[in-house]
């Protein structure tokens, strides 16, 4: 889930205003603590991935789906 920049700023404003720890901020806003640490490094939401798309051959997908369906039906 992507959080808006305004919400992220609100989280840090509350953290500073009430002198909350990262753990307390995480619990107050029901956000994983790791997410808050990541926002500390980069507050702006990213709009693009930094890694290239992974190419998967059609045959590999078919084989995986067949194996999965056999496991689910067993």
pTM of the entire predicted model: 0.62
Find the domain containing 20 and state its range: 1-45
Confirm whether 70 is domain-assigned: no
The pLDDT tens digits along the chain (74 residues) read: 689 999 999 999 999 999 999 999 999 999 999 999 999 999 988 777 777 877 777 666 666 666 666 655 65
Tally of domains within the chain: 1
- Alpha-carbon distances of 24 from 4, 15, 21, 30, 39, rounded to whole Å: 21, 8, 5, 10, 16
Confirm whether 52 is domain-assigned: no
> Which pLDDT value is given to residue 70?
63
Q: Rounded to an integer, what distance in angstroms lies between the CA atom of residue 25 and that of residue 67?
A: 44
> Which pLDDT value is given to residue 55?
77
Contact 2, 35 (CB under 8 A): no
State how far Cα 10 lies from the chain centre.
18
């Amino acid at each position: 889930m992507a959080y808006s920049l305004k919400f992220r700023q609100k989280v840090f404003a509350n953290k500073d205003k009430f002198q909350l720890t990262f753990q307390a901020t995480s619990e107050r806003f029901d956000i994983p603590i790791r997410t808050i640490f990541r926002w500390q490094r980069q507050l702006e939401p990213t709009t693009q991935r930094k890694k290239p798309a992974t190419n998967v051959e059609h045959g590999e997908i078919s084989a995986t789906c067949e194996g999965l369906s056999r496991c689910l039906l067993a």
